[in-house]
Every structure is written in C-alpha cells, then in structure tokens.
C-alpha cells in the first residue's frame, strides 16, 4: 500500500515548512532546504525533527537514529 497522495501534498518539513519529496521505495520524505530525511515506518511518516536523518547519512544507508 502506498502513501496517500493527498497527504503528501499537505505535509511540510516540521523544521522549515518547505515541501517534501518522496524518497525511493517510499522509505522517507526529504526536505531539500534542511537536507533532512524523515523516515516512513510501517507506511506512517515520522515527522519529528529529532527522528530526522541527514541526507548524507541517508545516502550511506542509515535509516534510524542510534
């Protein structure tokens, strides 16, 4: 099941309020302004700043905070 497209249109980065882009196989939502990725777990976007992963770490395969 994929994320609701209407939901994706209204979601914004909780840190800077910019638009988000869906990553890969619906694994995360990327904010280009902040260079952060908000993970999607069990089809639910985790929109907490403290759970966001840097785009650099995301590209290295890191999908969760330690």
**Fold classified for 5-59:** N-terminal domain of TfIIb (2.20.25)
Domains of the chain, by residue range, sit at 5-59
Global confidence as pTM:
0.90
Beta bridge partners of 38: 29
Kindly tell me the number of DSSP H helices and DSSP E strands found in the chain. 2, 5
Dump pLDDT digits (tens) for 11-65. 999 999 999 999 988 899 999 999 999 999 998 999 999 999 999 999 999 988 8
Beta-carbon contacts of 51 under 8 Å, excluding residues fewer than 6 positions away, are 38, 39, 65
Kindly state the tokens that stand for 39.
Answer: 């993970």
Cα torsion angle, 42, 47, 52, 56, sign = positive
């Amino acid at each position: 099941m994929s994320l609701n497209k209407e939901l994706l249109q209204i979601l914004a980065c909780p840190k800077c309020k910019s638009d988000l882009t869906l990553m890969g196989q619906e694994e995360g939502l990327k904010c280009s302004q902040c260079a952060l990725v908000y993970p999607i777990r069990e089809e639910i976007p985790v929109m907490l700043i403290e759970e966001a992963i840097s785009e650099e770490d995301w590209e290295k395969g890191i999908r969760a905070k330690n």
